[in-house]
Structure 1
Amino acid sequence: MDLPVVVGVDGSEPSLRAVDWAADEAVLRGAPLRLVYASLWERYEGTLLATDLDKPSEQVRAEDIVDTAARRAHHRQPDVKVSTGVLPEEPEYALVRESRTASLLVTGTRGRSGLAETLLGSVSLIVAGHAQCPMVVVRGNHDAQAPTGTHGRVVVGVGEKPAGSAAVRFAYEEARRRGVPVDAVRAWRWPARESTDFPLLAGELTRLHEQQAVEVLEAAFQDAPADVVSHRRVVEGRTRTVLVDASRDADLLVIGAKRRPGHYGLQLGRVAHGVLHHSACPVVIVPERV
C-alpha cells in the first residue's frame, strides 16, 4: 500500500498553494493525496445545528473547505487519487498523528498579508518539530499559485554527522524524481575564540575550518547514487543565512531535524526555525533519528 502525501488545509490561500504543490508531488511519487482539516468545532458549538442541514455549522464549513481543496487538486492533477478527512481535534495533534502513516506531510505558511507570509504559523511550527515523516512547508508567491520548479535543483544542508543522513538520502530521491541535480551545502565559521593577531596563523586556522567542512561534505557523498548529478560547496557564514541565500535559486531546500526518542519538547533547532521563517522556496524538514 502506497503511503499518501498528506496536506493540512484550512481554506486559506497558503494552504491551497500547499494543495497544488502536494498534488504535483503525489503524481511524482505515484502516491495518493489526502487532504485533512482539523478543528475543535465540537467543543465550541456543541449541538448547535446549521439551518436545514442537521450538522454543526463549523462542520459544514470544514466539509466545504476540503471539498474545495479536492476540486483544486483534481484541477491541478486530474489523475491523482484524493481522499479527505475532517477531524474534530487540534490541528497540530491531528497532523502529527497523520504523519505516522504518511510518506510526506505538507502545509503552507499561514497569513494573507505580505508580512504574515514571511512568518510561519504556530501550527506548522509545532508540527515541524514533531512530525514522524518528512514535512514540507510550502513557501511561495503572493498570487495564490504554488511555486513551480524553475531553478532545476534541490539544495540540501549538510549537518555535522552526514554519514547515513536521512536528509541527504531524501534530497537524492527527490532530485531523481525531478530529474535535477543535488546541490549540497555545508556552512562553516571560524570561531571567535580562535582569533589571533598573527596573519599567517589566522590563515592556517581558516584553511583548517574550511577543510573540515569539505571533509564533512565528502562523507555525505560517499554513498551517492551514480544516477544523480551532485554539486558540493562550502560557504563561510552562519548556517541559516547560508541556506536561506541558497534557497533563492532552488526548487526545494532540504534540512534535517534531530528526533530524540522519549523527548516530548519541540525538536526543532535554531537553523531549522530560521530557515522555515525566511526561505524563498519550499522547505523539507527530514527527521534524523539520534
Structure 2
Amino acid sequence: MAVRVVVGVDGTEPGWRALAFAVEEARVRHAPLEIRHCWQAPREATAPSGTIMPIVSIGARPTTAAQRIAATAWERAVATLPTHHVQAELVEGPPGAALAEQVTPADILVVGARSTHRLTARWLGSTASRVLNQAPSAVIVVPPHTTTPEEQPFAGHVVLGVAPSAAAAAVLRFGFATARAHDWPLAAVHATTTNDIDSYIDERTLEVQLSPLPPEYGYLQRVLEHWHHANPSTPVRRAVFHGPPTTALARAAAGARLLVLGRTHRSALRRGIEPLAERLITRATCPVAVTPFA
C-alpha cells in the first residue's frame, strides 16, 4: 500500500510548523501530501429561560476563514511540491477524531503540538493526544520549538526507543525507512535502570564508550541485525542509556532529527497513568513519531 503523508493545519504557528515538516516528508518519500483543516459548525447556546439562541447562523458550511486556511496551506505546500502531489480538503468534526478517520495504517499523520507543558498535555488534552489514541497510522507530533545542540551524541540522528515488546519491529521498520529516505544516521537506544552510565557503540567505527558492555547490547545486536544488513548505507549506533524510559530517551533524543516510539495496544488511558509517548512529547525537543498499533 502506498504511503500518504497527511497533515492537520489550523492556521496557528504550530500548524504551519507541522505543514513544513509534512512537506519535507512528502518530498523525500516521494509521497502525496494531503492537507486537512478541520472545522465545526457553530453550536447553539441555551438561554437561562430555556430558549435556544444560535451563536452564529451559518448552517453546516465551512466559514470563509476555514477556506482561507486550507488555501494558504495548499499554496505553501506547492511552493515545494508538484501541484498534482498536493491536495487540501476541509473536514467537518473535532480535529482529533476527524483527523484520525482520514488515515490508514500505511499513512503518516503529522500534527503540531500547541504546548509541551506537561500539565496542559495531561489534564486539558490536545488534538495531538487524541490523535495518538485513535489514529491507526504512524503519527508525528512536531513540537512548538526544536533545538539542535551539536555536542549531543545523537545530534542529527533518528533515535529509536527500542525495548522487548510487540512494537519493536514497527519502530525499527519506521525508523530505518525514515533514516534511509533522509540519509540521516540512526541510533537505537535501550533504556535501563541496571547501570548508571550512558554508553553507545558506533557500528561503522566500532568505537565503544564503555567496557565491559552491559548485557543489553546483546539484545540490541540481535534485533538490529536484519535491519542493519538490509540498510548497509545507514550509519547505526547502538546505545544503552540509564534511567527510566522517559528521562533516558529524552536525554538521548537531545538534538535528534526525530524520536521514534511504539504503540502496543488501543486500550483507553487509565486515570493517572500517562503513556510513554505522551510523556515524551511533553519533554522532547525534537519531533516525536509514534508507530501504528502493534
TM-score (norm 1): 0.77
Structure 2 letter corresponding to 1:39: W
Structure 2 contact 167–263 (Cα < 8 Å) conserved:
no
Q: 1:58 offset after TM fit, Å?
A: 5.0
1:280 aligns with 2:268: no
1:103 aligns with 2:107: yes
1:48 alignment partner, one of 53, 57, 74: 57
1:216-242 Cα deviation digits (max 9, x unpaired): 212321212223221101111111111
Structure 1 letter corresponding to 2:91: L
1:241 aligns with 2:247: yes
Distance 1:6 1:171 in 2: 18
Structure 1 stretches of 5 or more lacking a match? 50-54, 192-206
Structure 2 letter corresponding to 1:65: I
Distance 2:162 2:168 in 1: 11
Q: 1:73 offset after TM fit, Å?
A: 1.6
* Structure-1 residue corresponding to 2:192: 188
1:230-285 Cα deviation digits (max 9, x unpaired): 1101111111111111221210110111135xx4x249963212111111100000
Alignment length, in residue pairs? 258
Q: Alignment identity in percent? A: 30
After the TM superposition, which of the residue ranges 237-246 and 213-222 deviates more from structure 2? 213-222
CA gap of 1:177–1:216, structure 2 versus 1, over 3 A, is same
Q: Decide which structure has greater helix share.
A: 1
Structure 1 contact 258–288 (Cα < 8 Å) conserved:
yes
CA gap of 1:47–1:12, structure 2 versus 1, over 3 A, is closer
Q: 1:287 offset after TM fit, Å?
A: 2.1
1:232 alignment partner, one of 208, 232, 238: 238
TM-score (norm 2): 0.76
Structure 1 contact 152–180 (Cα < 8 Å) conserved:
yes
SS at structure 1 position matched to 2:28 = helix
Structure 2 stretches of 5 or more lacking a match? 45-53, 196-210
Q: 1:131 offset after TM fit, Å?
A: 1.6
Structure 1 contact 254–286 (Cα < 8 Å) conserved:
yes
Structure 1 contact 48–57 (Cα < 8 Å) conserved:
no
* Structure-2 residue corresponding to 1:136: 140
Q: 1:67 offset after TM fit, Å?
A: 0.9
* Structure-2 residue corresponding to 1:19: 19
Distance 1:235 1:8 in 2: 34
1:49-70 Cα deviation digits (max 9, x unpaired): 4xxxxx7785221111111111
CA gap of 1:271–1:116, structure 2 versus 1, over 3 A, is closer
Structure 1 letter corresponding to 2:289: V
1:63 alignment partner, one of 62, 67, 70: 67
